[in-house]
Structure 1
Amino acid sequence: MTLSETAPALSVLDLVPVRTGQTSAQAMTASMALAQRADELGLRRYWFAEHHNMPSVASTSPPVLIAAAAARTRGIRVGSGGVMLPNHAPLIVAEQFAALEAIAPGRIDLGIGRAPGSDPVITQLLRASGAAGEVERFPSHVQDIALMVRPSGATVQFTSGGEYTVRATPGASSAPEIWLLGSSDYSAQLAASLGLPYVFANHFAGHGLQRALDLYRSGFRAGETLAEPRTFLTANVVAAETADEAHARALPQLRMMARLRRNQPMIALETVEQAAQGLADAADAEEQTLIDGIRSSWFVGSGPDVRSELAAFAAQHGVDEIMISPVAGSYDAEPLDATPGRIRTLELLAR
């Protein structure tokens, strides 16, 4: 089973979801199996997000997860979607991804974002050592990383005279591909000015996609590694044998997003049965309205319907790739160390 030549290429964004009663170990086992299946199906890339201190998300450390996925796959590109750069020292990021590139040459993507990926308390803890990058220096830190991961390295100029060469790894033969990620005009314009590939976070931003793409494409200036604008789309997706099953499997994540929008405490992801019962018990008109609004921008339905909708979405925005976040929930009886709904989503779309 391989991707259709006429369909947009498919990639995966994984937050490593954690459901009720599931351990982090079980959630990661399930995600590694999903990465392996994506590789078998011929998908283009598999990215891990960076989020912290969330009961329903185990993707706290993209480099660790990327290394694990790279070891279990053969052809698919693996990377970050993304590393939240203000949380980390640029040299550390460069060293981590140069090492990953040495482990899996030609298969590593370094997606970089500017958001903290958590709440203010966690942000302070992440930056407690003082080594993380300041948000206002984000553009220069992106450029520093791009230089340090190159085989030739970067040259530090001292005000008193002299130079010092910095290489992220001593004998690099290739470099990871750097992508700039964002959900604002700022990130689109910065990617354009630096000549970097760019991805708008459509799967959670909810608005501003076309404006961001227009700003990026119209302002793009060719760089050393990219001659023309390069971008793709992200989307929350659930595909199943029937539309009814797809909508049932989408409900746990929809309720989680509604909780987030209402600033309610986060919990582990509900099962399909828990989500349906919780929605029925609450009889909350505001929650239902939020869920309906969120679902309207998702792609939820049978395999053929979702494939068709994704192809139209790609054509509308002039891209040849869509990165899906497969947000299908699990039923009570399904194994804790597997996510059959997410795997089936990939299988149905890759036909």
Structure 2
Amino acid sequence: MSTTAPAPALSVLDLVPVRTGQTSSQAVTAALALAETADRLGLRRYWFAEHHNMSSVGSTTPPVLIAAAAARTSRIRVGSGGVMLPNHAPLVVAEQFAALEALAPGRIDLGIGRAPGSDPVITQLLRMSGTSSDVERFPQHVQDILALVSPEGATLQFTSGGTYDVHATPAATGTPQVWLLGSSDYSAQLAASLGLPYVFANHFSGEGLERALGLYRGQYRPSEAHPEPVTFLTANVVAADTADEADARALPQMRAMARLRLNRPMGAMETVEAAQSAAPDDAMTPLVEAMRERWIIGAGDKAASELRELARTHGVDEIMVSPIAAAREGEPMDAAPGRARTLELLTAALAG
């Protein structure tokens, strides 16, 4: 009898990497082509992150990218991983995602996070609207969005008497699926109390994963939409035709993350050749080695096997991969061959 763990469904988290010499237009074109590849391969969902003022990240406005990806695909769910809610008025978020649901009915996910997604200066610029940026009101803002995107809308009760109805879109027939995202206990417990799906940002840190999932599942309060807790895992992944090629394509992203953790200036994503030719750095080396141990990097069959085991260990049926394979010099600027190859190899290996 086979003891192979069942294959998890695959999804994608995309930060729209921008590499050396690449324009924003070319990076977005490459990301949308990757979304089409994911749709063709039968992946479950494709999410865009929200980060600001980063020279190697083009995913600044998830709703715009979601709309473009929805127009290029036919079956895959598209969404945010996530919208950083303190940066935005809840009504604006609700209106954006209600419109997206109207554009692609039944295919929209609204992943919501509590972190700013940038440095303090950009955070201040994004939050100039005032009261909507109050992080302490995050739970109430989540509930406001849930009401606003529903076909019934929300009703305001004036202290002086009377009511006022608010709808994110005039005549909704469906709603985006709302997820809470986090890398600490906070969002896990809030998602459990509201009966919402939850995702731990395992690709970013990995610290506290088991505790967060335990809190979410143990404290979960069933809701009408979700009688049972719903969750999956994220992971940084590079799959290639050989282990050496996978390691080479992972190196630029590992070096970028090491620079971030060391508070060094960030630049566009290096090519494989630039990363390999860089001078040794005693401060970066242990960080890179730690990432190499945590991330899933290898030939297609090995990477797929590790994904199966990760899903089995944590009791999930889906893994959202951040396909971080960097480009080689000479590869087209408007495509991402290494990232596409990661998805192709994983899909084939998991289906086998």
TM-score by structure 1 length? 0.97
Separation in structure 2 between the aligned mates of residue 149 and residue 101 of structure 1, nearest angstrom? 9
Separation in structure 2 between the aligned mates of residue 349 and residue 231 of structure 1, nearest angstrom? 21
State the partner residue of 2:273.
Answer: 273
Give matches, 1:321-336, under 5 Å. Answer: 321-336=318-333
State the partner residue of 1:61.
Answer: 61
Separation in structure 2 between the aligned mates of residue 108 and residue 131 of structure 1, nearest angstrom? 28
State the partner residue of 1:315.
Answer: 312
What secondary structure does 1:132 align onto? Answer: helix
What secondary structure does 1:300 align onto? Answer: strand
How many pairs were matched up?
345
Separation in structure 2 between the aligned mates of residue 135 and residue 158 of structure 1, nearest angstrom? 24
Q: Deviations for 1:197-224, whole angstroms, at most 9, x for unmatched residues?
A: 0000000023100000000000000123
Q: Which amino acid aligns with 1:86?
A: P
User: Is 1:10–1:44's contact at 8 Å kept on the other side of the alignment?
Assistant: yes
Q: CA deviation at 1:5?
A: 11
Q: CA deviation at 1:131?
A: 6.1
**What percent of counterpart residues are identical?**
71
Give matches, 1:245-284, under 5 Å. Answer: 245-278=245-278, 281=279, 283-284=280-281
State the partner residue of 1:163.
Answer: 163
What secondary structure does 1:322 align onto? Answer: strand
State the partner residue of 1:154.
Answer: 154
Q: Deviations for 1:69-117, whole angstroms, at most 9, x for unmatched residues?
A: 0000000000000000000000000000000000000000000000000
- Stretches of structure 2 lacking an aligned partner (at least 5 in a row): none
Separation in structure 2 between the aligned mates of residue 229 and residue 307 of structure 1, nearest angstrom? 25
Separation in structure 1 between the aligned mates of residue 73 and residue 147 of structure 2, nearest angstrom? 28
Q: Which is worse superposed, 156-165 or 167-176?
A: 156-165
Give matches, 1:64-213, under 5 Å. Answer: 64-130=64-130, 132-213=132-213
What secondary structure does 2:225 align onto? Answer: coil
User: Is 2:5–2:312's contact at 8 Å kept on the other side of the alignment?
Assistant: no
Q: CA deviation at 1:129?
A: 2.9
User: Is 1:90–1:133's contact at 8 Å kept on the other side of the alignment?
Assistant: no
Taking only aligned residues, the RMSD between alpha carbons, in angstroms, comes to 1.1
Q: Which amino acid aligns with 2:156?
A: V
- Stretches of structure 1 lacking an aligned partner (at least 5 in a row): none
Q: CA deviation at 1:60?
A: 0.2
CA 1:46 to 1:251, structure 2 compared with 1: closer, same or farther past 3 Å?
same
Q: Which aligned runs of 4 or more in structure 1 are off by greater than 2 angstroms? A: 129-133
TM-score by structure 2 length? 0.97
Separation in structure 2 between the aligned mates of residue 194 and residue 243 of structure 1, nearest angstrom? 43
Q: Which amino acid aligns with 1:330?
A: A
Separation in structure 1 between the aligned mates of residue 156 and residue 294 of structure 2, nearest angstrom? 46
What secondary structure does 1:202 align onto? Answer: coil
State the partner residue of 1:223.
Answer: 223
Q: Which amino acid aligns with 2:272?
A: V
Separation in structure 2 between the aligned mates of residue 150 and residue 18 of structure 1, nearest angstrom? 36
User: Is 1:88–1:131's contact at 8 Å kept on the other side of the alignment?
Assistant: no
User: Is 1:133–1:141's contact at 8 Å kept on the other side of the alignment?
Assistant: no
Separation in structure 1 between the aligned mates of residue 290 and residue 132 of structure 2, nearest angstrom? 37
Q: Which amino acid aligns with 1:142?
A: V
